[in-house]
């Protein structure tokens, strides 16, 4: 036992099936005999309904600040409440930048992949990417979202993936990205991965395109060990991998940050089965085991994982498992696990697992130094119903007598002026790219403001993006013809 006095953890029962499965997990933790005290706090639907805008009350935040460890049930955001889910609020508030989602073949849980000994961990970046939730309606008919990927964020998630691989004695880390299309955002994860990988020579490092990764997961999933990926890719891939091994009822997860860690099942609140005592508690019980390992209670974690295996080997099945025998209720399933604590699985030994070194977040503002930067041009997004030729003529006129030239006009990513592409469906959001005539000179703020003023006299602009060069490299995407 690690702690002489009780180790306090924050427990959020959550919504619908949440309280049922969290109660089962707490009962199992208690039965291991370790010294833990649960500080039960609320978040989710009931809090939104009470008028708490974030869905996370102050007392819950204070409890997490104190305990630094959370066992959490699924949370709902009722329709009409909150512009951010309570889950996203918790993840961003405590900057739990890494989401570990392990899945493995389990005895008695039959899937089309049974016998292939799957044992895969998705390491998902958890706070950046399209999930920053920065979205705009550019025109009444065109929406735009910002995909924010930082070098600092990539370093932290890649290091976490390798550190986890080392701690869990894994052999291989794949980095899955869409770097062939999104060269700057997804490409940043690939490049960071390729730079950091040589620091871990004992781990095999491979880059794979995300679409091929999905295909390979369906065809030959046994080739994967640890997969590190961006937020949205990871969200999708981890549901896929949980499907390979028996479904959401068996998929645990850990949200890891420097100041706090939140342990939860991958599944949601499953309203269709709530209140019936039929939900499978395995995912949250395995999440609780991850939590115990995180706080240094590795023996209790091993004990719980072994008891889950022994229970499944004994033929007991939860309602979401294939089979015809009578399914155990949530409480019966948890009681069976408790009765198997201290027993060893016939199929799998305990893992040799060291503590994971968590990459430190920085207190200073993260920056990547460059020696020379210039602004070579500017993209101005304009709402217009003019044809590309008409808008092209108008923007060419705007540039007359200035140091700027109209380089191209795009619409939905296609160049429609000057090389007019007549086959694309046009919308009322045009991207007009202006470049400095002398490419080695920098475009000044005054020149950009003067350009916007001239455009604004006859047109509606709503978004401006500087085109920069860092140390001679274009820091913007090329145009697509
Ligand atoms: P879900 O709650 O994960 O449920 C999808 C289906 O999976 C259920 O209808 C049920 O299917 C099955 N399932 C999930 N967990 C199970 C368990 N423990 N035991 C047995 N079966 C289980 O997904 P959803 O319906 O898309 O989401 C419902 C709500 O949860 C939404 O409000 C969503 O926003 C929220 N959510 C929260 C989190 C979180 O807090 N981290 C995550 C995801 C979703 P059958 O009964 O049909 O077999």
pLDDT tens digits, residue range 118-138? 999 999 999 999 988 899 999
Q: Which atom of ligand 1 is nearest to the CA of 282?
A: 18
Token pair, residue 392, equals 């092209």
Q: How far apart are CA 104 and CA 288, in angstroms?
A: 16
267 CA distance to ligand 1 middle (Å): 5
Give how far Cα 476 sits from Cα of 143, 304, 305, 415, Å: 20, 50, 48, 16
Q: How far apart are CA 4 and CA 197, in angstroms?
A: 40
pTM of the model: 0.94
Q: Say what percent of the chain tops pLDDT 90.
A: 87
Q: Is pLDDT above 80 for 82?
A: no
Q: Is pLDDT above 50 for 2?
A: no
**Mean confidence (pLDDT) of the chain:** 94
- Measured N-to-C along each axis, helices 18-31 and 330-339 cross at an angle, to the nearest 10 degrees, of 10
Q: How far apart are CA 251 and CA 286, in angstroms?
A: 8
Q: Whose CA is nearest to atom 37 of ligand 1?
A: 268
Closest CA to 384 of 136, 143, 139, 144: 139
Q: Is pLDDT above 70 for 465?
A: yes
Q: Is pLDDT above 90 for 58?
A: yes
73 CA distance to ligand 1 middle (Å): 11
Within 6 A (CB) of ligand 1 lie 17, 21, 74-76, 87, 248-249, 264, 267-273, 279-280, 283, 319-320
Token pair, residue 370, equals 């460059």
Q: Are strands 252-256 and 429-436 parallel, antiparallel or unpaired?
A: unpaired
Q: How far apart are CA 218 and CA 58, in angstroms?
A: 43
Three-state SS at 187: helix
pLDDT tens digits, 149-190: 999 999 999 999 999 999 999 999 999 999 999 999 999 999
Could you give the dihedral angle defined by the CA atoms of residues 57, 60, 61 and 62, in that order, rounded to the nearest 10 degrees?
120
- Measured N-to-C along each axis, helices 18-31 and 298-313 cross at an angle, to the nearest 10 degrees, of 110
Closest CA to 236 of 219, 218, 261: 218
Residue 480 is predicted with a pLDDT of 62
65 CA distance to ligand 1 middle (Å): 28
pLDDT tens digits, 306-344: 999 999 999 998 988 877 778 999 999 999 999 999 999
| Helices and strands, counts by H and E, the chain | 13, 18
Name the pLDDT band for 80 (thresholds 50, 70, 90): confident
Neighbouring residues of 244: CB distance < 8 A, sequence distance ≥ 6 = 103, 111, 113, 118, 120, 217, 221
Name the pLDDT band for 5 (thresholds 50, 70, 90): low
148 CA distance to ligand 1 middle (Å): 28
Q: Whose CA is nearest to atom 6 of ligand 1?
A: 270
Q: Is pLDDT above 50 for 1?
A: no
pLDDT tens digits, 403-450: 999 999 999 999 999 976 668 899 999 999 999 998 778 999 999 999
Q: Whose CA is nearest to atom 43 of ligand 1?
A: 268
Residue 365 is predicted with a pLDDT of 94
Q: Is pLDDT above 70 for 8?
A: yes
**Mean pLDDT for the stretch of residues 267-290:** 97
**Mean pLDDT for the stretch of residues 391-400:** 97
Q: Which atom of ligand 1 is nearest to the CA of 271?
A: 28
345 CA distance to ligand 1 middle (Å): 29
Q: Which atom of ligand 1 is nearest to the CA of 77?
A: 32
Q: How far apart are CA 206 and CA 176, in angstroms?
A: 9
Q: Whose CA is nearest to atom 8 of ligand 1?
A: 270
Closest CA to 28 of 39, 17, 15, 38: 38
32-64 burial: b if 16+ Cβ within 10 Å, else e: bebebebbebbbbbbbbeeebebbbbeebbebb
45 CA distance to ligand 1 middle (Å): 15
Give how far Cα 76 sits from Cα of 48, 56, 81, 84, 304, Å: 9, 11, 10, 11, 28
85 CA distance to ligand 1 middle (Å): 15
pLDDT tens digits, 243-276: 999 999 999 999 999 999 999 999 999 999 999 9
20 CA distance to ligand 1 middle (Å): 13
Residue from 267, 287, 323 whose mutation best tests the ligand 1 pocket (most atoms within 8 A of CB)? 267
Residue that wins the pLDDT comparison between 3 and 13: 13
Name the pLDDT band for 301 (thresholds 50, 70, 90): very high
Q: Is pLDDT above 50 for 72?
A: yes
Residue 481 is predicted with a pLDDT of 55
Q: Say what percent of the chain tops pLDDT 70.
A: 98
Q: Which atom of ligand 1 is nearest to the CA of 74?
A: 40
């Amino acid at each position: 036992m690690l702690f002489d006095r009780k180790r306090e953890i924050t427990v959020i029962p959550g919504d619908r099936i949440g309280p049922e499965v969290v109660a089962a997990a707490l009962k199992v933790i208690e039965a291991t005999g370790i010294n833990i005290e649960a500080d039960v706090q609320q978040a989710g639907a009931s809090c939104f309904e009470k008028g708490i805008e974030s869905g996370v009350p102050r007392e819950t935040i204070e409890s997490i600040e104190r305990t630094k460890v959370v066992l959490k049930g699924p949370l709902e955001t009722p329709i009409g409440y909150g512009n951010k889910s309570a889950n996203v609020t918790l993840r961003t508030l405590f900057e739990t930048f890494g989401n570990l989602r392990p899945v493995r073949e389990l005895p008695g849980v039959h899937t089309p992949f049974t016998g292939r000994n799957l044992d895969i961990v998705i390491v998902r970046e958890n706070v950046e990417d399209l999930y920053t939730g920065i979205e705009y309606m550019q025109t009444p008919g065109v929406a735009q979202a910002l995909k924010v990927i930082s070098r600092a964020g990539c370093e932290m998630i890649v290091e976490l993936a390798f550190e986890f691989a080392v701690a869990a004695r894994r052999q291989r880390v794949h980095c899955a990205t869409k770097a062939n299309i999104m060269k700057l955002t997804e490409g940043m994860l690939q490049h960071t991965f390729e730079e950091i990988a040589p620091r871990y020579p004992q781990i095999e490092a491979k880059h794979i395109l995300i679409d091929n990764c999905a295909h390979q997961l369906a065809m030959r999933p046994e080739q994967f060990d640890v997969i590190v990926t961006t937020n949205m890719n990871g969200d999708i891939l981890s549901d896929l991998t949980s499907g390979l091994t028996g479904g959401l009822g068996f998929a645990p997860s850990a949200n890891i940050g420097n100041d706090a860690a939140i342990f939860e099942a991958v599944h949601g609140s499953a309203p269709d089965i709530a209140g019936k005592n039929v939900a499978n508690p395995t995912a949250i019980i395995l999440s609780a085991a991850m939590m115990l390992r995180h706080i240094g209670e590795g023996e209790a974690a091993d004990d719980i994982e072994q008891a889950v295996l022994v229970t499944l080997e004994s033929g007991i099945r939860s309602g979401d498992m294939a089979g015809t025998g009578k399914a155990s209720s949530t409480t019966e399933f948890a009681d069976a696990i408790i009765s198997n604590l201290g027993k060893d699985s016939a199929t799998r030994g305990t893992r040799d697992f060291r503590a994971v070194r968590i990459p430190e977040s920085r207190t200073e503002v993260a920056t990547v130094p460059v020696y020379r930067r210039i602004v070579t041009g500017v993209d101005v997004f304009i709402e217009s119903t003019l044809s590309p030729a008409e808008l092209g003529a108008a923007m060419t006129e705007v540039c007359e007598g200035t140091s700027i030239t109209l380089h191209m006009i795009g619409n939905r990513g296609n160049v429609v002026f000057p090389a007019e592409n007549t086959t694309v469906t046009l919308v009322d959001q045009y991207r007009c790219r202006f470049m400095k005539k002398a490419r080695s000179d920098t475009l000044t703020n005054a020149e950009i403001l003067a350009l916007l003023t001239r455009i604004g006299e006859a047109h509606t602009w709503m978004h401006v993006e500087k085109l920069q060069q860092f140390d001679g490299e274009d820091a913007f995407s090329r145009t697509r013809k």
